[in-house]
């Protein structure tokens, strides 16, 4: 399968992922791997379906999309010419609008 888009994970998003996985792994390492697999699956899916996210009212940058995973994590991203740029990966407990 030849994907048109690559996925670029920004430093803030990498930090978000590390914090989320580390927090979960303290109590349940297996669950942490499962969440990491969810993120990986979403990134792969976005390569195929870059418009899967939605624009959120309240985010001033209209190029930013948000995809909510089944575990209620928000994948915040932007579609560039040839790349999906993952801007942030947030939990449902974080204020998306305050952070962005």
Note the pLDDT tens digit of each residue in 22-56. Answer: 999 999 999 999 999 999 999 999 999 999 998 88
Residue pair 42/56 in contact (Cβ under 8 Å)? The answer is no
Tell me the pTM: 0.86
Nearest to 9 by CA among 33, 34, 44, 35: 44
Is the predicted pLDDT of residue 1 greater than 60, yes or no? no
Q: What is the pLDDT of residue 69?
A: 86
For the chain, what is the mean pLDDT?
89
Q: Cα 8–10–14 angle (5° rounding)?
A: 105
Q: What is the pLDDT of residue 93?
A: 84
Is the predicted pLDDT of residue 9 greater than 90, yes or no? yes
> What are the beta bridge partners of residue 21?
none
Pairing relation of β-strands 6-9 and 83-90? parallel
The CATH homologous superfamily of the domain defined by 6-92: RelE-like (3.30.2310.20)
* Residue corresponding to tokens 């430093």: 11
């Amino acid at each position: 399968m030849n994907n048109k888009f690559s996925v670029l994970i920004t430093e803030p998003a990498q930090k978000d992922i590390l914090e989320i996985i580390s927090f979960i792994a303290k109590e349940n390492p297996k669950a942490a791997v499962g969440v990491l697999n969810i993120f990986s699956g979403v990134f792969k899916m976005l390569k195929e379906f870059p418009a899967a996210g939605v624009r959120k009212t309240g985010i001033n940058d209209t190029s930013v999309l948000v995809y909510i995973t089944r575990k209620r994590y928000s994948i915040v991203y932007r579609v560039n010419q040839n790349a999906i740029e993952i801007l942030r990966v947030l939990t449902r407990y974080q204020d998306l609008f305050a952070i962005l």
